[in-house]
């Protein structure tokens, strides 16, 4: 049974070995995520080159997803052992550039340098400050110039560069940083296939990144942009973000800290449903098989979490630390593959079907791809074949979640590499064609060479006319295979 939902795996020290990375690709990794919160340009460049090399060797396209850091709020550098913060202890938070001065001014306080712009102006007495994914909580009791005096509510050990969250507080800082701009230029120059934008608040955060991409990608089709939903503001502005982005990521780590763990499951369902009705890609991420960082098997709750994301209708599921720094990256991908397949086998019975009651959009292209999906369900059809130059037609077709595989044919190398991101899509690289007859001949030849299709069986062909131009799909054909 072919798996339809895609697996995104984050690369890191645990995957830098060539043999391990090849095993991950063969085990089912469809998308390789490069986390630009960590690593140097040299490290990322080596990973990109290795992915391309192995992908070509095993003849399996792998999409490279560049994940921009965004305005990440972090603790500064601390001693190697970190600090142990105890309940009711007083802690002075100070901008990293001023923390040395604070040692003399408040010697009785624990000093904690933080990289949080505008912190002293944004908080007030009673404000909550969370650290290390919410494992530590501080309460503001006084603000003195650039120093924020806090009391420890929930203690624990804090170490260098742990994340900082301020639930309900708007720091009024740009979502697209100068670091992101430099990272984006590097990524595009080295051929990444998709971009994830962190800490998106509204549509403008997405549009700004797309504008930057358009200035760099003058001679290539721009990659899809995925908005990571990590803040309450993003949920409030979900519709406009979906309109601006090509897809979204349910980033449950920061989202759970910024809201609360109890609300995350419902927010996840809301996002997946909204993405369906806007015909946008959705990736479910964070702590899916987290215990496999240190253990060869997941907890039963984690297995249920992955399965329920599939039953909710997610297009892809993502592994983070499990593959980047975990002890069992290969076992994790294999386990994810197994859980997803089992959930998909039971989707018709247990999956969310409520979305079928209303149309997702009013666009002709969506109506055409929906018609193709319905025709595939009613007729004896082996595959849906789509012709796409930008990847958009394959993307729209994938959102229908049809009952048969989607074979996506493209003459564009950049598009070919990005297609592994989409649910149920199998990418094919084909030459340019100028007529529908030539295109059908190329499609038929490729299908006969790579599948078990027989003469007389049918496929649905979704395309655009005239062939060769970059247009939305406007053409649907029920085609009988005649080759052999």
Catalytic residue positions, numbered: 33, 74, 228, 286
Residue 477 to residue 462: CA distance in whole angstroms = 7
Residue whose tokens read 């005239």: 466
Separation between Cα atoms, residue 362 and residue 200, nearest integer Å:
26
User: CA of 474: how far to CAs of 39, 341, 420, 469, in Å?
Assistant: 44, 33, 23, 12
Q: Is the dihedral of CA 152, 157, 159, 161 positive or negative?
A: negative
Q: Is 86 exposed, middle or buried (0-12, 13-18, 19+ CB in 10 A)?
A: exposed
Tell me the C-alpha distance between 45 and 42, whole Å.
5
CA-to-CA distance for 482 and 16, rounded, in angstroms? Answer: 46
Q: At what angle do helices 178-189 and 41-58 cross, to 10 degrees?
A: 30
DSSP state string for 349-394: HHS--GGGGS-S---HHHHHHHHHHHHHHHTTEEEEEEE-SSSHHH
Q: CA 366 to CA 379: how far, in whole Å?
A: 20
Q: Is 151 exposed, middle or buried (0-12, 13-18, 19+ CB in 10 A)?
A: middle
CB 477 within 8 A of CB 467: no
Q: Are 335 and 7 in contact (CB under 8 A)?
A: no
């Amino acid at each position: 049974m072919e798996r339809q939902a895609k697996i995104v795996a984050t690369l890191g020290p645990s995957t830098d070995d060539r043999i391990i990375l090849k095993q991950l690709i063969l085990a089912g990794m469809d998308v390789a995520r490069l986390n630009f919160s960590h690593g140097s340009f040299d490290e990322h460049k080596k990973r990109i080159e290795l992915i391309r090399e192995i992908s070509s060797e095993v003849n399996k396209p792998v999409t490279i997803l560049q994940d921009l850091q965004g305005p990440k709020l972090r603790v500064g550098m601390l001693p190697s052992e970190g600090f142990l913060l105890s309940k009711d202890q007083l802690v002075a938070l100070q901008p990293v550039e001023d923390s040395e001065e604070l040692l003399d001014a408040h010697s009785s306080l624990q000093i904690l340098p933080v990289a949080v712009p505008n912190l002293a102006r944004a908080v007030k007495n009673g404000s909550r400050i969370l650290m290390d994914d919410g494992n530590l909580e501080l309460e503001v009791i006084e603000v003195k110039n650039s120093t924020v005096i806090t009391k420890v509510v929930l203690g624990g050990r804090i170490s260098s560069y742990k994340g900082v969250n301020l639930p309900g507080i708007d720091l009024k800082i740009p979502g697209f940083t100068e670091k992101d701009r430099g990272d984006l230029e590097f990524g595009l120059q080295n051929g990444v296939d998709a971009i994830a934008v962190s800490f998106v608040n509204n549509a403008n955060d997405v549009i700004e990144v797309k504008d930057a991409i358009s200035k760099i990608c003058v001679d290539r089709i721009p990659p899809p942009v995925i908005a990571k939903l990590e803040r309450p503001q993003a949920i409030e502005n979900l519709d406009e973000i979906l309109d601006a982005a090509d897809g979204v990521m349910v980033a449950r780590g920061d989202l759970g800290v910024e809201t609360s763990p109890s609300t995350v499951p419902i927010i996840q369902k809301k996002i997946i449903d909204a993405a369906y009705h806007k015909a946008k890609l959705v990736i479910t991420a964070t702590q899916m098989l987290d215990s496999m960082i240190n253990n060869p098997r997941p907890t039963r709750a984690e297995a249920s979490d992955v399965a329920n994301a599939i039953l909710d209708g997610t297009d892809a599921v993502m592994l983070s630390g499990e593959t980047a720094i975990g002890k069992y990256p290969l076992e994790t991908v294999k386990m994810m593959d197994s859980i997803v397949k089992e959930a998909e086998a039971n989707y018709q019975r247990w999956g969310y079907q409520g979305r079928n009651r209303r149309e997702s959009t009013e666009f002709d292209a969506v109506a055409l791809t929906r018609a193709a999906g319905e025709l595939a369900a009613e007729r004896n059809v082996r595959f849906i074949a789509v012709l796409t130059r930008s990847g958009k037609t394959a993307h729209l077709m994938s959102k229908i979640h049809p009952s048969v595989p989607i074979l996506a044919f493209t003459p564009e190398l950049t598009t070919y590499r990005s297609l592994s991101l989409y649910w149920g899509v199998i990418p094919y690289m084909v030459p340019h064609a100028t007529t529908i007859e030539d295109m059908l001949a190329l499609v038929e030849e490729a299908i006969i060479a790579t599948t078990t299709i027989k003469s007389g069986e049918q496929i649905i062909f979704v395309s655009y006319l005239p062939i060769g131009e970059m247009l939305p799909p406007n053409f649907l054909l029920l085609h009988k295979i005649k080759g052999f």
